[in-house]
Amino acid sequence: MTGGATLVDAMKIQVMKVPEEGLSLDTSYDPQQLNVDRQDAHLTSPVRLATRVTREGEDLFVQGSLRCVLTMICGRCLESFDATVDKELLLHYDVTGKYVVDITDDVRQELVLEYPMIALCRSDCLGLCPRCGVNRNHTTCSCNA
């Protein structure tokens, strides 16, 4: 990789360069560029975008998909696990008087919306024993708590 700048520029769409038939925009973001880490959720791989950019008059549309892997910490058992995010994307911009549209903020926003309120390694995670602290997914203790 030749540094972050190339990737950032890939997300700036030059309005005048979008042809009538549209264009494909396939690119990826570094985790650091998006800076969307939460205490219990970290981006550990690039965010991939596969989109189609079209323009109708003063309306610009970016449609496609966003994929990445989040490494999260389970809110019950505190073990880390990976979750794949695969999300459909449809962004719309009014480009009246604009030459360049930067979609970075919206991509960040879309991604953060995918974060679960509480990360769980699985919906039936048994969590830690409140008394002795063992991970009850792996160990059965005799606390009866």
Decide if 72 contacts 97 (C-beta within 8 A): no
| Shortest separation between residue 131's beta carbon and Zn ion, angstroms | 5
Site size for Zn ion (CB under 5 A): 10
User: At closest approach, how far in Å is the CB of 116 from Zn ion?
Assistant: 12
Shortest Cβ distance from residue 43 to Zn ion (Å)?
Answer: 20
Per-residue burial over 9-27, b if 16 or more Cβ lie within 10 Å, else e, is ebbebebeebeeeeeebeb
Residue 95 or 125 with smaller CB distance to Zn ion: 125
74 binds Zn ion (CB under 5 A): yes
- Main-chain phi, psi angles of 50, to 5 degrees: -125, 105
Judged by CB under 5 A, the residue of 77, 111, 119, 128 near Zn ion is 77
Among positions 60, 76, 95, 111, the unique one binding Zn ion when judged by CB under 5 A: 76
Number of Cβ within 10 Å of residue 86's Cβ equals: 10
Instruction: Find the part of the chain contacting Zn ion (CB under 5 A) among 2-10, 12-20, 42-50, 75-83.
Output: 75-83
Tell me, residue by residue from 106 to 135, as one string, x for binding to Zn ion by CB under 5 A and - for no binding: ---------------x---x---x-xx---
Cβ 78 to Zn ion shortest distance, Å: 7
Measured from the CB atom, is 38 or 98 closer to Zn ion? 38
Residues of the shown chain interacting with Zn ion in the complex, contacts defined by CB under 5 A: 74, 76-77, 121, 125, 129, 131-132, 141, 143
